[in-house]
Structure 1
Amino acid sequence: MNLGKETETLEFKKSTGEIREAMVSISSILNKHGIGTIYFGVKPNGDVTGQNISESSLRDVSRIVYESIRPQIYPAIEEVTLDGRHLIKVEFSGENAPYSAAGRYYLRTADEDREVAPEELKEFFEANKYRGKWEKGKSNATTRQIDRKAIKTFWQKAVAAGRLPDGRYTCPIVLNRFGLVTEDYLTNAGEALFGTTHPITLKVGIFATDEKLTILDMKMYEDNIYNLLSIAEEYVLKNLRWRTEITGIDRKEISEIPVAVIREVLANSFAHAIYNGRTNHEICIHPSMITIYSPGEYASKHTPEEYIKGNLESEIRNATISKILYLNKSIEQFGSGFKRIHSLCKDAGVKYSYKNTDNGFKFIIYRPQLQSDIQSVTLDVTLNGTEMSVLVLLKQKPDSSRDEIAEKISKTVRTVQRALDSLRDKGYIERIGSKQNPTWKILK
């Protein structure tokens, strides 16, 4: 029989002869996750070998835990039998970190225990003081206030991606499996991911210039994370520039910024946000750049450049939300967002930057070849806001219809027609073609 792989919360020891090493694992797991399990009688690869268990074996384990771990914990220690072999199972938890083993401090990294100095441990807790606590907290949403369609779509995609085992799933099974419920209520993570209470706000907008001055479009959505990710992706992709490449009989649409970059940045912005802060998610589309803002200050002591260049341990703010997005394949590689985004942008020749503030983290993707595609617009005091917005759109797409322009700038068709007439009279545009299917020539 095999129990699978060791994880950040599960450790295997061949026998109680490794009891001292087990105390190190308990300390490191408690400091990282606050809860874990150790089996004695299992090889590191998960094979169950069993061990001899005497009348005093469980008492000996309990005594050594008592002597070694500080602050003191009270684990559940029991003998279990698997496949005819006897094991000792130790389940432990604690909420008084940091914990030491024989006076030394450790942190869990994958399935390994790493000794750290008290100063480094303090930095770790400061950077991760939000992580986990908010996710596990009980929300005001009941287990009946769930988006069943979103949950079903999640498990279908996760199974199809091979990241969730094939099997029979229901909404209660999914919610319980990933710890998204507590009593009869959703946890904060559960409500944020799949709640019908409109828990998360997303603002999106298109601007005529690289400043937030002339607004061409502005919308606000309130929904759960799972739905907002699709809404955000659709909004950005709809407003990117696309080109067509024809190879033989195949026609391929290619966006100015790779779709994979957009998806990865969006997914990570939701995965690492602080959801009880003062600001909301925001996407701004400017002529030369797209900015994606995530609430909550940058959590890690390492810079994005350090993550890109090295193989550092990822510091994940919302472990449950990140796991759901990974299983759904919204995030391609769990905990390696910066490295993947950098690689995708480098391959596509796309530049990016970021800004970190006390309130949030803004990722900036620069739109390539803008100057050759769209002429800059000089603000003219003789143009009002509507005329300015219409002129910007015509410079982007000269054959735009009145209906298309009206939808983009949230004005009536009659208002757009007045703006077109005014721009023509002022010498900014000239109509080419019929009134029914015009193309506008930009004069200045």
Structure 2
Amino acid sequence: MKKNPTYVIPTAESETVEFKSSFQDEVIITLVAFANAKGGSVYVGVGDKGDIKGVSLGKETVQNWINEIKIKTQPSLIPDVETLEVEGKTIVLLKMQEYPIKPVSIKGKCYKRIGNSNHLMGVEEIANEHLKTINGSWDFYPDPHHSLKDISLEKVSRFIHRIEQRTENKIPYTPVEFLTKMEMLREGKLTFGAYLLFVADYCPISDIQVGRFKSNITIIDSISLNTDLFSEVEEIIAFIKKHLMVEYIITGEPQRTERFDYPLDAIREIVINMIVHRDYRDSSGSVIKIFDNRIEFYNPGKLFGGITIEDLLTGNYSSKSRNKLIAKAFKEVGLIERYGSGIHRVQEICKDYGVIAPVFEEFSGGFRVVLFNEKQGIQKDDTIKGGLSGGLSGGLNDGLNDADRFLLSLIEKNPGIQLKEILSVVENKSQRTLERQIAQLIERKLIERRGSRKTGGYWKVNKEVQS
């Protein structure tokens, strides 16, 4: 400790500066918050507004403060201390560096410095700080409830074979040896990540609900999955694909080209990302809802590592993975090309496919992606609508010509489209001819008018007739 009569204190509190009139538990709380953040300094004997009040010090006062800080914190903190003389008064400067082992607590509570105040950390923040400290993640930890007998070594062998196919290199290890090399088996104990990747049967923490909805409350088909993560990816994509509509592209070739109304590559990217980055410590499950005009993908757990939605959309962030072991496993078999590129890839895929941009949002304590099948503006190509699960491509195609199919496609893909907009797309057809064609489709109950004739109204494909 030393005296410094020329010392100039900061003018205001900040992320790394705190003023305290006297020594009390609030001083220790601030030191803990600094230790869990970027470090900082506490000036004891200074008022909230920077006014110098000074403190009275006895022979053992400062040493007693240090002992109290050490006793009340875990791990024990010992700050650097300086005794300063400012404006003829004595103040004590306590300096705390960022602590290498986090989180630090006082009386069992953990605090972190945010701005110029101390923030009480929640359970998830505490766990994440601890995991960052050891440069690990939750899925690297030994699972106390499961062992090798709970996973399928055959699934591990298939995983090894996929890596061999991708790398064209032989892996000379048994499944158990391989798990050890990959740190999926640590000191003979199965990790949480290995359990999720290779579980033999029912897995209670990997549950995903997938449903096909006709309305917000009407489900016409669904599956519930509680299996290993690789299997879930394939089963989810197969279920979604079953419920997609097919468009037929007339190219001039003898056979027409089929195209799904959603980009499959975007669906696969979203599904893989939600499975890899899900917070499996959360008791709620993942949910996928397929509607007529959108697919909603919901994961429990907010964005990891302090990333915001704005960061995601601008790409202004460094990639951080909640589940490093799981992410590494998916990358080994080529399901992840590059860490942190998923959101950008989905955006680019949708743009190239000609559908409107997906929505990324924090929702109900978790993260949601909404994918749409609506085209970017009215399409002026020769896309011909396939049926809803076979609809128009089945019996209703009898008696329909290409012009009818194209018109049905246009109305289906552009809800609310009006007559003048249809005329701008359909070439070489007068308004009177188009009105006659529409009247015939209405008579066959393939479409129905919505709105008044006075305002023009619009048409809607009658899906009840199609089903």
Please, what TM-score do these two structures have when normalized by structure 2? 0.52
Distance in 1 between the 2:263 and 2:210 partners?
A: 19
Unmatched 5+ stretches in structure 1: 1-30, 32-69, 73-93, 100-116, 374-391, 401-426, 431-439
Structure 2 Cα separation of the partners of residues 314 and 443 of structure 1? 46
Corresponding position: 1:340 with 2:345? yes
1:165-184 alignment to 2 at 5 Å? Answer: 165-184=169-188
Alignment correspondent of 2:360: 354
Amino acid at match of 1:315: K
> Once the 2 structures are TM-superposed, how far is the Cα of residue 330 of structure 1 from its aligned partner?
1.7
Alignment of 1:92-171 (within 5 A): 96-97=101-102, 128-129=128-129, 132-139=136-143, 140-162=145-167, 165-171=169-175
Which residues in structure 2 correspond to 1:70-109 (within 5 Å)?
Answer: 96-97=101-102
Displacement of 1:165: 4.8
Which amino acid in 2 is paired with 1:196?
A
Aligned residues: 284
| Aligned counterpart, 2:263 | 258
2:315 pairs with 1:292: no
C-alpha contact (below 8 Å) 1:150/1:226 kept by paired residues: no
Q: Provide the C-alpha distance between the structure 1 equivalents of 2:114 and 2:324, rounded to a whole number of angstroms.
A: 24
Aligned mates of 2:212, 2:378 — CA distance in 1: 20
Q: Tell me what 1:191 maps to.
A: 195
Following the alignment from structure 2 to structure 1, what is the Cα–Cα distance between the partners of residues 191 and 466? 58
Q: Is 1:207 aligned to residue 213 of structure 2?
A: yes
Change (3 A) 1:370 1:238: farther
Partner of 2:208, secondary structure, is strand
Cα distance between partner residues in 1 of 2:310 and 2:319: 13
Separation in 2, partners of 1:428, 1:251: 26
Q: 1:317 aligns with which of 316, 322, 344?
A: 322
- The verdict on how the C-alpha distance between 1:193 and 1:178 changes in structure 2, with shifts beyond 3 A counting, is same
Kindly indicate which of the two structures has a greater share of residues assigned to strand.
Answer: 1
RMSD: 4.2
Structure 1 residues 359, 130: CA separation in 2 closer, same or farther (over 3 Å shift)? farther
| 8 A Cα contact 2:103 2:126, kept in partner | no
Q: Are the structure 2 counterparts of residues 443 and 301 from structure 1 closer, same or farther at C-alpha, using a change threshold of 3 Å?
A: closer
Alignment partner, residue 442 of structure 1:
465
CA gap 1:174/1:208 in 2 versus in 1, 3 angstroms: same
When normalised by structure 1's length, the TM-score is 0.54
Q: Secondary structure at the match of 2:299?
A: strand
Name the residue aligned to 1:327. 332
Change (3 A) 1:398 1:253: closer
Match of 1:231 in 2: 235
After TM superposition, give the deviation of residue 254 of structure 1 in Å: 2.4
CA offsets 1:261-299 (integer angstroms, 9 cap, x no match): 111100110111111212112111100101111121222
Indicate the percent of aligned positions where both proteins have the same amino acid.
Answer: 22
Report the AA paired with residue 465 of structure 2: I
Q: Does 1:220 align with 2:230?
A: no
**Alpha-carbon spacing, 1:283–1:371, altered in 2? closer, same or farther (3 Å):** farther
CA contact (8 A) 1:323 1:334 kept: no
Give the match's secondary structure for 2:279.
coil
